[in-house]
Amino acid sequence: MDERSACSASHRERGPELSSRLTEDHRSGSEDIELRPTAELVRIMVEDVSDVASALLSIVPAMVSLIEEVASRMGRGGRLIYVGAGTSGRLAQLDAAECIPTFGLSEGTVVAVLAGGIEAADRADEGAEDDQEAARRRLAQLDLHANDTVIGISASGSTPFVLEAVKVATARGTFTAGITNNPDTPLSRQVQLAVEAPVGAEMLAGSTRLKAGTAQKVILNTLSTVVMMKLGRTYDGYMVGVRSTNKKLIERAQGITQEITGLDAAAALLLLKDSDWNVKAAVLSHFLAVEPLQAHARLADAAGNIHSVLGKVRKEPE
């Protein structure tokens, strides 16, 4: 046996000892993979998306349950709190950050607790995922209550930082869920609701920023978007909660207002300006024939749920 063959055999022998987790498996037929033509490597990466799609379709029932739980709790004033490390934590942080301008949420409504803190957002801090004391400290700072939801995200399902955070949340009586890419993990066994999306071996064994990360991104997108839809933060598929904080977003808000109300561009812009650049208030002001200030008040009474306001109006006797 030559040196190179001996090296490959050694890796195969260590594989089962390294981990029995699917996310750590060595992909079948991957010998010499990095020496193959670029076109073949690209094709393999693109075709891997089918594994992600299959895994995601298998978790639809679990996602439905999770969305209903989160929406119910947020409707009572609860927060959505993600906990993760590495890729999982950074994906969680991205989703949490984008919920604020997309849906017009207040700061702190959707929170991401990333192992290693904000510094780990743009640089790897792999040791942070083992820091259980940091997890206890970070969760204690959140002052958890019963209407909150804490979701641990871990491809392996065994990240110490995430497991400890979920343990703290459980002790506080907070609803817990877990998102993993392996079946029957410590995280799944510890939470009240588990979402398991096993995507199989990665093109690079153990590199869960690939298929596992893609699956997690879709899961988080689906969770936050559908929850916000359930809470009336969208209207007819439009981002009526969008914050008009720059020229592009002002133009988007104007376009949304125009399309929903049927007003021309100038009238839509004027209505939006009078409504303090709040699309939902502008739309309600138009539909209900009330002043923008009154539209804002009705939204506040309905916790920002535009459908709730319109529903109450439709039920009022003439």
For range 84-110, the mean pLDDT: 93
**3-state DSSP assignment of residue 110:** strand
Residue 19: what pLDDT?
47
State both tokens at 180. Answer: 């993993």
Active site residue 98: yes
Cβ neighbours of residue 68 under 8 Å, at least 6 residues apart?
230
Q: Which of 129, 164, 196, 202 is catalytic?
A: 129
pTM of the shown model: 0.86
How many of the other CB atoms lie within 10 Å of CB of 186?
Answer: 19
Per-residue pLDDT tens for 39-80? Answer: 999 999 899 889 999 999 999 999 999 999 999 999 999 999
Cα–Cα nearest to 178, from 155, 200, 160, 201: 155
Cα–Cα nearest to 134, from 110, 162, 153: 162
Per-residue pLDDT tens for 220-278? Answer: 999 999 999 999 999 999 999 998 888 999 999 999 999 999 999 999 999 999 999 99
What are the boundaries of each domain within the chain?
Answer: 53-230, 247-315
Handedness of CA 204, 95, 195, 148 (dihedral sign): positive
**3-state DSSP assignment of residue 168:** helix
Cα–Cα nearest to 86, from 114, 108, 118: 114
Which of 20-34, 54-68, 110-124, 125-139 shows the highest mean pLDDT? 54-68
Strands 110-114, 149-153: pairing is unpaired
Active site residue 129: yes
Per-residue pLDDT tens for 157-205? Answer: 999 999 999 999 999 999 999 999 999 999 999 999 999 999 988 888 7
CATH architecture classification, 53-230: 3-Layer(aba) Sandwich (3.40)
Q: Which of 40, 47, 98, 133 is catalytic?
A: 98
Residue 42: what pLDDT?
93
Q: Tell me, which fold does domain 247-315 have in CATH? A: Helicase, Ruva Protein; domain 3 (1.10.8)
